[in-house]
Amino acid sequence: MFRKRAKNSILRFLTPRGFPFVLILAVLFSSRSSTCAGSHPPVFRPDMKALGMGGAYVAAGDNANVLVYNPALLSRVGFDLVIPSLRLRLDDNFWDVANFIVDHQEDFAHFDSLYAGQGDSASLENLEEFLEEITPYEDRWGKSRFAPMFSLSFKHFGIGIFNTTDIWIKVDKGIYNPKVYGQAVSDLVFVSGYSQPVSDKVTLGVTGKYVSRRTSGLVQIGAANLGGTNEVLKPAYNNLRKDERGIGLDLGVLYAPKPRLDFGFVMTEVLSQIGGRSISRNLKAGVAYRWETLPWLSLRNGVVAADVEDLLFTSGDSFFKQLHVGAATTLFVFDLRAGCNRGYLSAGIGLNLYIFNIDYVYYGEELGTYPGHKAEWYHALELAVGW
């Protein structure tokens, strides 16, 4: 009798009436831990479709990547297998810094002779010219990311494994000797999610994550020892030694009042930690409206969506930095996406060739506290094989 009552008490929480109580508890615990100093950045691998749509995917997701956006959406995903997805992302600064290093390999390699020959007017002029050319690139981090993923989902269930390896490089003029710095962070993440409808209109979902995070620290290379960009990227990657491990948990809700209209809510990194330190939490909400076809424009499988992040107001950023708005549709074999990500335009195109998919996205991110403060622009290219 006691066991039956206990079971019924637990099941009450897995109902539309009981789940808000669970979500409130998650918010309370998360709001306490999210204010801790030195928290880790979130464990996250953005979806290419979402990036093209300005990042709006909490209610609009339709593939296995909903595992990291809103696990309740697994109820909308059928069989989806990706083996693998290979992605490369570079920001505009990376191109600029890398091209500068490549174009000035000779100056870096022979810097000692330039510095030693300061008494010679020609050498002094060359030295001053080289140092002056470094100035526009000084302290500008060039960022690159390699992010492969394998995933498998059925209706209501999904599993995946992904890696995100970020390598940053920058040039520093220094006092006596120019240097190039590099650093790297790599996450290996195992993820699994499950969704359960609790009524005709409400679905709940949960995602669990196991994370191994490695960091390199700052790698420094003097000008005379620099042969090219590869001389920075390799040492940064090879110094990925500090290994911290942890777990993560996301809770999601999907509410569908009408067949084409969805509202999504997700609390990410509930009670999550890596190496004893908490992971940054985030409470998000989203809305999506879908259509099947627009015959007069030959468009199909369309969606318009909007998301808002940081509903706990822990970051101190402006509302518009937390806003994501976008749309996506299919035209013949092309997937078209456009949106506004944190105040900056995003656009993407995909080529869908049955089991082969190629996607490209160009989008902006805000590094400051409000749009227009400090923009950073990215190029992302992905090749995927799957069904």
Q: Using one digit for the tens of pLDDT, what is the confidence trace for 149-159?
A: 999 999 999 99
For position 13, what pLDDT does the model report?
44
Q: Given this model, what pLDDT does residue 55 score? A: 97
- pLDDT value of residue 329: 96
Whether the pLDDT of residue 263 is over 80: the answer is yes
At 233 the pLDDT is 73
Dig out the tokens for 191 from the structure. Answer: 């993820």
- Mean pLDDT computed over 25-49: 62
pLDDT tens track for 87-144: 999 999 998 888 888 787 777 777 666 555 554 555 567 777 777 888 888 878 899 9
Can you name the residues that pair with 351 across neighbouring β-strands?
334, 358
Measured CA to CA, the distance from residue 165 to residue 87 in angstroms comes to 11
Cα–Cα distance for residue pair 217/200, rounded to 1 Å? 50
pLDDT of the residue at 228: 60
Which H or E element spans position 31?
helix 19-33
The pLDDT of 237-244, averaged and rounded, is: 81
Average pLDDT of 351-364? 95
**Of 82-86, 302-306, 369-373, minimum mean pLDDT range:** 369-373
* Residue ranges per structural domain of the chain: 2-386
CA distance 236 to 144: 12
Asked if the model's pLDDT at residue 30 lies above 60, the reply is no
* Cα dihedral across residues 342, 373, 32, 276: positive or negative: positive
Q: Which region among 10-19, 248-257, 345-354 has the lowest average model confidence (pLDDT)?
A: 10-19
Cβ contact 172:139 at 8 Å: yes
Query: Nearest-CA neighbor of 250 among 63, 43, 41, 17?
Result: 43
Residues near 229 by beta carbon (within 8 Å), at least 6 away in sequence: 98, 101, 102, 169
Residue range 259-282: mean pLDDT, rounded: 91
First vs last C-alpha separation in the chain: 48
pLDDT level of residue 224 (50, 70, 90 thresholds)? low
For residues 364-373, give the mean pLDDT: 83
Distance of CA 158 to the CA centre of its chain: 19
Calpha distance 16→270 (Å, rounded): 20
Asked whether residue 32 carries a pLDDT value surpassing 90, the answer given is no
pTM of the model: 0.85
Percent of the chain with pLDDT over 90: 51
Segment 49-64, tens digit of pLDDT: 999 999 999 999 999 9
Is the CATH number 1.10.3470 carried by domain 2-386? no
Q: Radius of gyration of the chain from Cα atoms?
A: 24
Distances (CA, A) of 266 to 28, 253, 295, 347: 14, 6, 34, 25
Name the residue among 324, 346, 350, 325 with its Cα closest to residue 336.
350
Q: How far is CA 187 from each of CA 193, 215, 237, rounded to the nearest angstrom?
A: 19, 9, 12
Check pLDDT > 70 for residue 367. yes
Residue 191 is predicted with a pLDDT of: 97
Contacting residues for 170 by C-beta, under 8 A, at least 6 apart:
97, 137, 138, 139, 140, 141, 142, 180, 181
Token pair for residue 355?
């089991």
What pLDDT does residue 235 have?
76
Q: What is the mean pLDDT of residues 335-352?
A: 96
Distance between CA atoms of residues 198 and 254, nearest Å: 10
272-302 per-position pLDDT tens digit: 889 888 888 899 999 999 988 877 777 888 9
Reduced DSSP (H G I as helix, E B as strand, rest coil) percent helix, strand, coil of the chain, to 5 = 25, 45, 25
Asked if pLDDT for residue 7 goes beyond 70, the answer is: no
